[in-house]
Structure 1
């Protein structure tokens, strides 16, 4: 199984914050249809250096996905990231991938 952790910053250019309703709409319309088998969303607070070397501190959403590796799932994650970046004018989404053994 492959776990992917996706980190979505919640600050829009200009300082506005992505609202909880905007986030929930993205989960409903973009993420859930691609990962109907399940996902976990956590609230976070983080920081990073943007492309201009400015330290950005912001609240975030962390989406944890655990799935069987396939080109289709990799493409689905790419689509989620690109939709988020385009919709909310974001520079990036952090994706952390590894391999795990799971049991239920």
Structure 2
């Protein structure tokens, strides 16, 4: 009886050491942060960033900072400076990066990508979106 009780206590203690699943994530997935950067390709009403420009930027700025992986998708966005201003539509690229957990210096590396893009292509801004997602690889 004493041995059975001791074994039960040991099992219960070891179970407490295991990481519980993150609430809201299905079993087998874990919560982490996903970053999306939205890059406009125009300057004014003209295409500013060509496919060749983007490929070079990807090779020189993004890949060295995120060699473990990312996704780039084509986009078409629209915005306006203020109410009543004309709507501006432009092609773009969306960079999606699943950040490690904990994220370490990844937010700083993303900021460096944003700064490099704005400087290189004379852009006003790059939209950044951070969200929590359940992921598994």
TM score, norm. by length of structure 2: 0.69
Structure 1 counterpart of 2:125, from 92, 95, 98: 92
SS in structure 2 at match of 1:36: coil
Structure having the higher helix fraction is 2
- Structure 1: 5+ residue stretches without partners: none
Q: Which structure has more RCO (C-alpha within 8 Å, separation ≥ 6)?
A: 1
Count of equivalent residues: 104
Q: How does 1:29-68 map to 2 (within 5 A)?
A: 29-50=60-81, 53-68=85-100
TM score, norm. by length of structure 1: 0.90
CA RMSD of aligned residues (A): 1.8
* 1:23 maps to 2:50: no
Contact 2:114 2:126 in 1 (8 A): yes
Aligned residue number for residue 73 of structure 1: 106
SS in structure 2 at match of 1:50: coil
- Tell me which structure has the larger Cα radius of gyration: 2
Distance 2:96 2:124 in 1: 20
